[in-house]
Structure 1
Amino acid sequence: MHHVLCGLAANPALPTELVDRLIGMADADVASALASREDLSHAQAVALAGLGEETAVPLAYKGKLTAADIDPVTQPHAALALLDEGVGRPEWARLLATDPVVERREKLAGCPGLPPDVVKTLSADPDVRVVAELALWTTPDTATRLARHPHAEVRSAVAANEATPPVVLAMLITGEGLPPAQRCLVCDREATPFVHGPHCPRPDCDLLPGAACDGSHQSTVHRLHEEALRNPATPAESVVGFADHPSPLLRRQLAARSDLPRPVCARLAADPSPGVRAELAENPVIGEALMHGMAADRDPDVRRSLAHNPDVPLGLLPSLATATKIGSTLLPRIAAASPDEVKKLAESRHPALRMLLAERRDLPAEIVDALAADPDAKVVKSIAPHPGLSDTRLRAMVDHHGVQVVAKVAANPDASPALLEYLARHQPPAHKAFREIARHRKATPVALLACLADKRARRIAAAHPALPPTAMADLLGDDDWLVVEAAAANPSLPHAVMSELVP
C-alpha cells in the first residue's frame, strides 16, 4: 500500500479532495511525492511544509512557499532555501549567521545578496568550511580580501570563484603579493609531514585520499591551481607555465582552456599523457594544422576527442570515423555541416561517416530517403528515429535488417499505432524495442500489453495513459514496487479506483 500511495501522490489526475486526504495521513515518502505536484494550492503547500523540513525545503525552492509561511527558528533549512532563492528576509540571515550548526552557516554562506554585516560575520567564522563556502560565491571585493586568508582551503575557494578579479587569481597562482598560507585541512589535524592513504581505517575521517602536507600544504595548493586553471577569469599568461608541470591533472585542465596560445597547444599536443592530448584534441583553439597532426595520434581517445571538436576539418572525419569507434552520436562538426557538405557526407563510401550524418534530425527528405535505404544496418539504425519517415519506409527497414533496427524504428515519433503493434509482435523479440514502444505517445493498448512481458518495459508501460484500466489495476499488486508506483501514478487510473486506494 505504501508504494501505491506514493504513486497516487504523484498522479497528476488525482482529485484535489484526495490530495487533501493524502496530506492528512502522509509519511515522509508520500509527502515528498506530494511536494513534487505542480497543482498544489498555497494552502496545501503550507500544510505539507508543516509535516517536516524534508518537504518544506523543495516546496520553498519551487516557489510554493513565501517568507510569511516560514519560521526560521523551527524551519531553518526552509528559511535557507528561500534565502538561497533570494526571497528570504535579511533578519533570517543575521540569525542564521550565528547558528550553532556549522552546516547551516555553511549553507548560508553560499546564498546570494547577503547583507554586508552578515558577510563580515561569516568571513570571520571559526569554521574554515563556512569561510571557504563564502569565498566560493562572494563578490569581487570580498574575494579579494579572502585571498589573503591564512587558510589554504579558503584561498582555493577564492581561486574557483569566477567573480574573483583576474589580478587576484594571478597572485593566487604565483603567491606573489600575498602572505604565505599558514594552515590547511591536513596540518589542522595531523602532525606534518603527513600523507593520507587511500585506505584510512578511521570512520570519522573526511580527508580525501592523497591529501598531504609537509608544511607547504601541497595537496591544497594543487587543488587551488586546478581551480584557477578551470576558472575562465584567470589570465592566460598566468597559467601557460603549467604546460610543463609534473601533474598530468593540471596539464589536462590547462589543455581545456579556450585562451591557449598556439605554442602552448603545440607543447601539449606532444604531452606524454593521452588524457592531456585527448582534452586538447577537443579544444577548438588548437587550429587546423595541429588537428591534422593529432588525427594520427596513436591513442584512440585522442582521435575520438578530435572527432568531437566543433572545428575539425570535414576532410579528417572519414579517417577518424573509420579508425576510431565514435558511437552513435551527433558530432558538432556534422551538426554544422552546410547543405553541400551534407550531400557529400551522404554519398561517402564510408558507412561510419554516413551513420554519423544520419544522427542529424534536420536532413532534407531526399537525404533521409537515401540513408533509410542504405545497405548498412548501422546507418539505418541512426536514421530510423528521424521524423517524417513513412510507415512503409519504416517497415521496409525492419523487413530488411530485422532485429538490429527494431528498437530504433520504434523510437520514431511518427511511427503509427499499427506499426508499433507490428513491432511488438516481432520475432525474435527486441527487448529495447519494448521499452521504446512503452514510452511512445502513439502506443496502443494491444502494444502496451505486449510490453508488460519485459521487466524493464513493464515499468514504463505501467505509466502509459493508453494502458487498459484493468491492466493498471492488476499492476497495483505487482511484485516490482517501481511498477506499482508507475501504475498508481497513471493519469488514466479511474477516479473510483483512486478513491478506494486512499484511506
Structure 2
Amino acid sequence: MDQQVLQSLAGNPAAPEDVLVRLCRDRHLAGMVGVREGELPDAVVDAIADHHDPALITSLSRRGSVSATKARRLAEHPVAAVRQAWLGAPRQQLVGDRYLTIVELERLLGMPRSELARHQDPVIRAAAARCWFGPSTEAHRALLTDPDPTVRTAAVSRRHPQVPVDLQPEFLRNPVTRPVLARYAQLTDQQSRALAEDPDPEVRGGLAHHPALPPATRELLFTDPDEMVQVTIMQHPSLAEEERTRRYDLCRAAAAAGDEVAEMVVEFFDLFGPDWLRTAPLERRLAYLDSPFAAFREVVAWSRDLPPEAYARLDADPVHRVRSAAAKRPDAPPALVERILREHGDSRKSRWRWTDHPNFPTEVLHTYADHPDERVRSYAPRDPNLPPETLARLATDASAVVRRAVAAGPGSPAEILTVLLTDPEPSVAAQAAANPRLSVTSMRSLLDRAGLP
C-alpha cells in the first residue's frame, strides 16, 4: 500500500482512537499522528511514547496535544529517553523554534509575558524578546538593555518597535542586528555610505528601505551587485515616478544586452511590490492606480478601503494577479469571483480557494460537471449538494484531477470514497483517505491491508 494513503489517514479528523493507535505502530506514521490538531487520546499518546523516540516526544510537547494527566506520566516515564525528552522539550523549543507566538510561549511555560521578560533564565527572556511583538516601551527597553547579549539581539526585529536613538549605535555594530537597524537608524552621511558598502547584502537591502538616504548613497545602491537591493531602491518612496521609470528602462536595456543581474532586477521588480505602499495613506495609494508597474497596482488592489470606482478599475486591470487581489475583498461582485475561478483557477501557492469567498455563487458549481476543461470540471465536487449520481460519474472521470476533487468533496458519500481508495493514482487514494466522510470500516480495512496490528 502506498505510504501516502496511510499518512493521509493519520491526518483524517474523523479517524477514531483505535485507528490512530494502530497507525502509531509504525514510527513514521506515529509522527504524523502526533502533529494532529487538538488533544490526543491518552492511548494514542502511549502508542507514540512506546517508540521511545525523543523526536516524537518533543513533537507532542510542541503541539500541546497531551492531557495534563498524561503529561505528568511522561515526566515520570520509566524509560529515561522518553522522560528526558519530555522534560527538555520546552527548553528545546525556546532555543530552536523561532515561530512560537507570545501566547504559545505563555501557555507553554504557564506565566504571563511580563514575567517571562523578567525571568532569571536568559533563554526564557530571549524567547520572550523574540516572540513578543508590540511590547510596551518600558518592557522593550528592558529587553534591549538586558545584561545577556542573546536577549538584546532577540529584542531587535523588523516586527518589533524601533530601537531608541540612544541605543542604536550598539545594534548597528552587531552584524546580526545591523540589517534591521539599517532600515531606520539615525545615520550620518559617512555611516550611510559605510552601510551601502557593507559586504552583507541584507544590510545593504535594509538600507535601501531607509526613508532618508543621501543622494550619493542612493546612487551606490542603484548599482549594487545584489538584484534585490536594486529592486528595493528602485521602488523607494522618495523616487519620482519619472525617475523610477527611467531607471527601470535602463535595467531593461541592460537585460536585453545580456546583463544577468539586470534580468533578475526586471523580473523581481515586476513580482514584488513595495511594502511602504501597503500602509501609505489612501490618497497616495490611489495615485498608483494607473502605475505602469503591475506590482504597484497589485499592492493597491490588496487595499480594503478603496472607493467603488477604484475597485471597478482594478477589476478590469489587464494583469490577472491585480484583478485577483482586488476580487478577494469581501464585497466583490459574485459574477467577478466566479469568473476568476473559471478562467484562472485557484492559486497553487495558497490553500485559500475562490469557492471559500463569501460571495462565491455556489449554485453554479453543478454546471461545471460537464465542462470540457478538466480543471473547471474538478470544481463541481466542491458543491456539498451535488447529486450522488453526478459524483459517481465524476469518480470515474478519465482525469485524476477530477477524481481527486471527488475524493476531497464535502458531499462525497462513503461508498464512493471507499472505491477511490483503490484508485490507480496514489494522490486520489490519499485524498479519499483524508476525507472525514470515509467510513470507519474502510479505515480499518486500510490498516488490515497494510499489516498494521
TM-score category of the 2 structures, normalised to the smaller one: 0.5 to 0.7
* Paired residue type of 1:12: P
- Aligned pairs for 1:256-271 within 5 A: 256-258=180-182, 259=185, 261-268=187-194, 270-271=196-197
Structure 1: distance between partners of 2:331 and 2:198? 48
What does 1:125-164 correspond to in 2, within 5 Å?
137=123
1:96-495 alignment runs, 5 A limit: 137=123, 165=148, 237=169, 254-258=178-182, 259=185, 261-268=187-194, 270-271=196-197, 275=201, 278-284=204-210, 287=213, 293=219, 296-297=222-223, 300-306=227-233, 312-313=237-238, 315=240, 319=245, 324-325=266-267, 326-329=269-272, 331-348=274-291, 350-360=293-303, 363-377=306-320, 379-394=322-337, 405-407=344-346, 411=354, 413=357, 414-418=359-363, 437=379, 449=394, 462-495=407-440
Q: Partner residue of 1:31?
A: 30
User: Which stretch shows the higher mean deviation, 280-289 or 361-370?
Assistant: 280-289
For residues 285 and 474 of structure 1, what CA distance do their matches in structure 2 show?
61
Distance 1:10 1:371, change over 3 A: same
Alpha-carbon distance change, 353 to 36 in structure 1, aligned in 2, over 3 angstroms: closer
Alpha-carbon distance in structure 2 between the residues aligned to 1:434 and 1:279: 45
Offset, 1:488: 1.0
In the alignment, the residues of structure 2 paired with residue 109 and residue 390 of structure 1 have an alpha-carbon distance, to the nearest angstrom, of: 46
Quote the residue 2:159 is aligned against.
none
Return 5+ residue gaps in structure 2 as ranges. Answer: 98-120, 127-143, 154-162, 252-265, 449-453
Alpha-carbon displacement from aligned partner over 1:221-251 (angstroms, at most 9, x marks no partner): xxxxxxxxxxx89965457679xxxxxxx6x
Q: Does 1:11 align with 2:2?
A: no
Match of residue 89 from structure 2: 84
Show CA shifts across 1:103-142 (max 9, x none). Answer: xxxx699699xxxxxxxxxxxxxxxxxxxxxx994889xx
Q: 1:12, CA displacement in angstroms?
A: 1.0
CA shift digits 1:56-107 (9 cap, x unpaired): 3322333414133344662425533333326xxxxxxxxxxxxxxxxxxxx6
> Which of structures 1 and 2 has the bigger CA Rg?
1
Q: Displacement, 1:167?
A: 12
What is the one-letter code of the residue matched to 1:417? T
Q: For structure 1, which segment, 26-35 or 252-261, has the greater mean C-alpha deviation from structure 2 after superposition?
A: 252-261
How far 1:453 sits from its partner (Å)?
A: 6.2
Task: Measure, in 2, the Cα distance between the counterparts of 1:366 and 1:281.
Answer: 37
What is the deviation of 1:291? 8.0
- Is the 8 Å Cα contact of residues 294 and 319 (structure 2) preserved in structure 1? yes
Aligned-pair Cα RMSD in Å: 5.2
Instruction: Give 1:336 shift.
Output: 0.6
Aligned equivalents of 1:169, 1:364: Cα separation in 2: 44
Instruction: Tell me how many residue pairs correspond in the alignment.
Output: 361
Q: Give the conservation status (yes or no) of the 8 Å contact 1:294–1:303.
A: no
Query: Higher RCO, 1 or 2 (CA under 8 Å, sep at least 6)?
Result: 2
* Per-residue deviation, residues 283-338 of structure 1 (Å, max 9, x unmatched): 436548678646744664323233677xx347559637886433445532221122
CA distance in 1, matches of 2:151, 2:43: 49
Q: Does the C-alpha gap of structure 1 residues 80 and 455 become closer, same or farther in structure 2, counting only changes over 3 Å?
A: same
Do structure 1's residue 59 and structure 2's residue 60 form an aligned pair? yes
Partner SS, residue 7 of structure 1: helix
- CA 298–84 in structure 1, closer or farther in 2 if over 3 Å, else same: closer
DSSP 3-state at the match of 1:345: coil
The answer (yes or no) to whether the contact 1:361–1:386 under 8 Å persists in 2 is yes
The whole-number CA distance in structure 1 between the counterparts of 2:274 and 2:77 is: 50
Question: What CA distance in whole angstroms lies between the structure 2 residues aligned with 1:275 and 1:40?
Answer: 45
Percent sequence identity is 19
Q: Answer whether contact 1:280 1:286 (CA < 8 A) is retained.
A: no
- For 2:287, what is the secondary structure of its paired residue? helix
